[in-house]
Amino acid sequence: MLSSALGRAGAVTTAIALTMASAVAVTTAPARAALVPLFHPTVSDYAQVSASETPPTQDQCFSVGRRCFTPQSTRAAYDVNALYSQGLDGRGMTIAIVDAYGSDTIAHDLHVYDQAFGLAPMCGEEGVACAAGMPTFGQFHFQGSPATKPQPGKGTHQEDKSAWALEVSLDVETAHAIAPGANILLVTTPTAETLGVQGFPTMMNAEQYVVDHHMANVVSQSFGSAEDAFGSPQSLLKLRHAFVSAAQNGITVLASTGDDGTANQRKSPVGGPNPAPVIPYPTVGWPASDPLVTGVGGTYLCTDPNNVAARVVDSADPPAKCQANPGVAEVGWTFSGGGYSHVFSRPSYQATLPAGSTPIPASARGVPDIALQASAGTGALVYLTLPPDGQSGLICGSAPCSTGWYDIGGTSLSCPQWAGLVAIADQLNGGGLGLINPALYKVAADPAKYAADYYDVTVGNNQADPTVPGYPATTGWDPITGLGTPDAATLLPALVLASH
C-alpha cells in the first residue's frame, strides 16, 4: 500500500484541476529553510481536575481558573439538541479519527466517559455487550500498533507517545459526544511525533487506505505542521493524494488549524534548540490550509457551562478572557491558528464573503473556514488512563499526571466535534457530503442565512507571540474563526441543501 499510495503523487497536479482551488507557490513569504516539518498533535493545554472516575464539579474547574464543558452543555451552546429530537445523531455514518500511535486504554476510557455522562454506549468499548443498531467503535492500525509509552533512557524522546494518548481520548470521546449515533474508527500509525521522512507520508497513506476502502464518511485530523516548515511547496503537495481521493469519493476531511496563533515553529534538528525556532512572520498550518480540507479554528466559549438546555452568556465565571468581554458569547481564541496560505491560492468558494469580512487576497487561501470551542479555559472534560507509576511522560504542573479527568483545549477539541456535526449532516443527506467548503460559504453569502445559521465571532486576536503579527476577529469571515461557529440546528440542514 505504501508504494501505490505514494505513486499517486505524480497525478496530484492533474487531480487538483478537478477541485475548487489551485495549488501554487506564493512568493510573498521569506525563503523557507530546507527542514522537515514538526508534526504534532494539536491538543495544546490541559489540566488534571480530578483523579477519580467521577467528573469534577464546576467549582473544581473554577478553582483552577477554568470552566469545564460536558457533552450536554456543549450541545446546548451550539443548538445540537434540536437535531437529536428529530432522530439526527449521526447514525449510519462513520467518523475516522487519525492519530499517531493510538492509546492502549481508549476502549476503557471511552466506557468511563460514556457512563459518566449518560451517553449511548458503543459496541467495541470496554464492558459493553454489542446489540443490533448500536454505533461501533473500532480501531485500524496501519502498519502495526506500538505501545503508547514514553521513550526509555536518555534518547531524543522524539517518539514519546503519551501526548498522542491524550489526543486520542480527546478526539474519540468528544466526537462521540456530538454524534452519539455515529460509528467511530480510530486510525493509527506507528510514526514518530517528530516527523523525519516517515511521519506525514505514512499518515497520508493510512488516510488513502481508508478512502480507497470506503471505511468512513468523515475524516478528523488533529495534527499539523507549518506550511513553511516544509522544505518546499512541492514536498507538501505530493502528500495531498488522500484529500484528492476523498473529495472525489464524497468524504469530508477536516483539520485543526493549530494552537500557536500566527506563530508556528520550524523543525529543530536533533540536538538543536528546544523549543524549535519560531518562524518570524505569520504562517498557517497544513493540512488545515489545504483547499480540499475544512480548516477548523477556535474560540473561548463564554456560555454557561451548567446550562444544558440553551446558549446563555456567562461573563462572570473564569477564565479572564470571558470576564473581560461582558455579554459576548464567544471570543476568538488567542492561539487559534489562522491567516493566509503561502502554498495555496484562494479557492473559488472563498471569492464571496459575508459583508464586513476580512478580505482574502486572490493569491492566498484564507484559514480557517469555521470554528468551535478550543480554549482550554473553556475546554471540555475528557477521561484518560495513565500508568500508575507516574512514568507516562505527561507532566501536570511540576508532577507527573495521573489517571482521571482532564480539562482540555486546543483546535484538537474543535476539529473532532465538528466532525461529529458533519456526521449528523451526512445522516440528514443520506450519505457523505464530501468537500463541504463550497456549501459553507454559499450559505454564508446569503445575509439572512448567515445571521440565522452562524454565530459570528467579532472579538479577539490571534497574536500568540509578540514578535509575530496576528489578526483581529471581525464581522463575517476572519483569520481566527473563519465564518464563525454553528447554530447546528439551522446550519446543518442548510449545509445539506447548499450541497445540491
Q: What is the pLDDT of residues 389-412, one digit of tens each?
A: 666 777 887 888 889 999 999 999
Strand partners, 482: 478
* pLDDT value, residue 319: 96
Q: What is the mean pLDDT of residues 77-94?
A: 98
For 179, the grid coordinates are 454524534
Q: Is the pLDDT of residue 261 over 60?
A: yes
**DSSP summary character for residue 269:** P
* pLDDT value, residue 9: 27
* pLDDT value, residue 193: 42
Q: Is the pLDDT of residue 135 over 70?
A: yes
For 202, the grid coordinates are 505514512
Q: Is the pLDDT of residue 31 over 50?
A: no
Residue 348 φ/ψ, nearest 5 degrees: -60, -30
Q: What is the mean pLDDT of residues 257-268?
A: 88
* pLDDT value, residue 43: 53
Distance between CA atoms of 297 and 339, rounded to whole angstroms?
Answer: 11
* pLDDT value, residue 386: 86
Of 148 and 207, which is predicted with more confidence?
A: 207
Strand partners, 454: 486
* pLDDT value, residue 400: 83
pTM here is: 0.89
* pLDDT value, residue 194: 43
* pLDDT value, residue 198: 54
**DSSP summary character for residue 49:** E
Distance between CA atoms of 299 and 34, rounded to whole angstroms?
Answer: 33
* pLDDT value, residue 161: 64
Q: Strands across the sheet with 223-226, in order?
A: 40-41, 223-226, 285-286
Structure confidence at residue 265 as a pLDDT band (50, 70, 90):
confident
Which residues are CB-neighbours of 333 under 8 A, at least 6 positions away? 297, 298, 299, 300, 374, 375, 460, 462, 480
* pLDDT value, residue 44: 52
* pLDDT value, residue 390: 67
Within a 10 A sphere around the Cβ of 273, how many other Cβ atoms? 9
Residue 401 φ/ψ, nearest 5 degrees: -70, 160
* pLDDT value, residue 232: 87
Q: At how many degrees (to 10) do helices 488-498 and 437-444 cross?
A: 110
* pLDDT value, residue 199: 76
* pLDDT value, residue 242: 97
Distance between CA atoms of 114 and 71, rounded to whole angstroms?
Answer: 10
Burial of 338 (0-12, 13-18, 19+ CB in 10 A): buried
* pLDDT value, residue 34: 31
DSSP sequence for 446-470: SHHHHHHHEE----BB---STTS--
Q: What is the mean pLDDT of residues 144-160?
A: 52
- For the stretch 430-472, pLDDT in tens is 999 999 999 999 999 999 999 999 999 999 999 999 999 999 9
Within a 10 A sphere around the Cβ of 385, how many other Cβ atoms? 18
For 73, the grid coordinates are 452543555
* pLDDT value, residue 395: 80
* pLDDT value, residue 273: 55
Q: Strands 218-221 and 252-256, how do they pair?
A: parallel
Of 367 and 201, which is predicted with more confidence?
A: 367
Distance between CA atoms of 390 and 371, rounded to whole angstroms?
Answer: 35
Which residue do the cell numbers 460509528 mark? Answer: 183
The mean pLDDT value of the chain amounts to 87
Q: What is the mean pLDDT of residues 81-100?
A: 97
* pLDDT value, residue 190: 83
- For the stretch 412-426, pLDDT in tens is 999 999 999 999 999
* pLDDT value, residue 100: 86
Q: Is the pLDDT of residue 326 over 50?
A: yes
Q: Is the pLDDT of residue 152 over 90?
A: no
Strand partners, 138: 185
